[in-house]
Amino acid sequence: MSLRIVVCVKYVPDATGDRQFTEDLTVNRDDVDGLLSELDEYAVEQALQIADEADDAEITVLTVGPEDAKDALRKALSMGADKAIHVEDDDLHGSDVMATSLVLAKAIEKAGYDLVITGMASTDGTMGVLPAILAERLGVPQVTLLSEVKVEDGTVTGRRDGDSASEQLEASLPALVSVTDQSGEARYPSFKGIMAAKKKPVESWDLSDLDLEAEEVGLEGSWTAVDSAAQRPARTAGTIVKDEGEGGKQLAEFLAGQKFI
């Protein structure tokens, strides 16, 4: 039986761009370029490595987002994933992590899966809690923040590296894992892969396909909301310490005043 792997990926604003909020205090995605979240590329890479070792495996990449989010799916497909699912609906606008995890869980269940793989966090929100919430919604064990992943005989195993020690973890499939940016460099799509991605299937689903109502997602269905936002103040000029014999003392006083020492 084929190993069914679902990789959750996110289309995020380019961190090098000038990011702004809209009037409803959601991220303005129209005026900035987007791309596949770099941390999710590691999840795609680990799925590809697992599939290479399996006798038979199929990789589905899944995203929730606007029309342009298909670009993130195409990148994952060009890396080597087999097919993609795009959940797009105007009522999803403003969904927080709780609403997004609900949509992802419904889509994953509809698609069918043995193993779900995510990145450690998104590069825009950087909350890092979605994998745990998603595993809870799916009712499967979670093995998170792994720097090494293997699947064998219906079990997923992995290594989680901490500051002072490493842990060896395992869970029976079906399960969810998240991987860190230490799990291995993501491969660069080849020209052949890019051309092949154009022929791979991309399904489009909306809320009705997942038996969800508008009030369960979006700004209305979210558990959290941004109350206010302000432009980051411009960077001020630094303090210059001229060494005329007292430079070391002045530097020490400055660092002490900032409570750095």
Query: Taking 80 as the threshold, does the pLDDT of residue 241 lie above it?
Result: no
At residue 14, the pLDDT reads 79
At residue 47, the pLDDT reads 97
Q: What is the band of 142 on the pLDDT scale with cuts at 50, 70, 90?
A: very high
Give the integer Cα–Cα distance in Å for 157 and 147. Answer: 11
At residue 226, the pLDDT reads 86
Give the integer Cα–Cα distance in Å for 155 and 54. Answer: 12
pLDDT tens column, 69-83: 999 999 999 999 999
| Rounded percentage of the chain residues whose pLDDT exceeds 70 | 98
- The lowest-confidence range among 73-82, 123-132, 202-211, 244-253 is 244-253
pLDDT tens column, 173-211: 999 999 999 999 999 999 999 999 999 999 999 999 999
Query: Taking 90 as the threshold, does the pLDDT of residue 127 lie above it?
Result: no
Query: Taking 80 as the threshold, does the pLDDT of residue 22 lie above it?
Result: no
Give the integer Cα–Cα distance in Å for 136 and 77. Answer: 28
Give the integer Cα–Cα distance in Å for 122 and 99. Answer: 15
Decide: 197 and 77 in contact? Cβ < 8 Å: yes
- The lowest-confidence range among 7-21, 69-83, 125-139 is 7-21
